[in-house]
Structure 1
């Protein structure tokens, strides 16, 4: 299946203490419900680690059609946070959440030839 190399994939990884999990998941759920409605949102996942030795126990992955769709969504969410007074960095500090946030592009990899 061909993959668009124009897509932007936002991958946010969080180390969330057990005491903050429920409130964090509730906030993430609200955010991702909005993202699902925005133009260009192709995939929207919230993942929780159930096995393994990783540091990050919650990961979100949102695939956007292209840079323009991502930037429009980013602006929409910035305006919503500003209007509501929500400050993610302050909330993370208060709840003891560590975050690793980044944008990625899909790396085209040629399919292996049939043996």
Structure 2
């Protein structure tokens, strides 16, 4: 079997979160504000916030952001950071205070 990266495939940011029930509303408020910023950025092709409905697992929320390619990532990350500064948001502190655990990474689709 040959596995290769797709040449012109988009890049995906997949963020998985374990969110305590009591922090759900505050967490989703932060996610809504963040994704509103993302949706205004050139280079964001699509985004989704998913909530687990059944099955075992550590993570009960997943955010998937589709970038048009790796060249747009730094600009989009900078836009979110600028929003955070303007809004007075410290993401690491916010996640810690909400008891949220996260696993985040960039992914590329493979031709299999």
Fold equivalence (TM over 0.5): yes
Gapped regions of structure 2 (runs ≥ 5): 1-5
**How large is the Cα RMSD of the aligned pairs?**
1.3
Corresponding residue for 1:7?
10
Count matched residues: 107
Query: What is the SS of the residue equivalent to 1:93?
Result: helix
Check the 8 A contact 2:37/2:83 in 1, yes or no.
Answer: no
The partner residue of 2:40 within 37, 40, 45 is: 37
Unpaired segments of 5 or more residues in structure 1? 110-115
Residue 33 of structure 1 and its aligned partner are, at CA, apart by 1.4
Flag the structure with larger Rg.
1
- Whether 1:83 and 2:104 are equivalent positions in the alignment is no
Q: Greater strand share, 1 or 2?
A: 2
Aligned to 2:103: 100
For residue 64 of structure 2, the aligned residue among 61, 66, 77 is 61
TM-score normalized by structure 2?
Answer: 0.89
Contact kept, 8 Å, 1:6 with 1:67, in 2: the verdict is no
Report the CA distance between 1:23 and its aligned residue.
Answer: 0.8
TM-score (ref. length: structure 1): 0.87
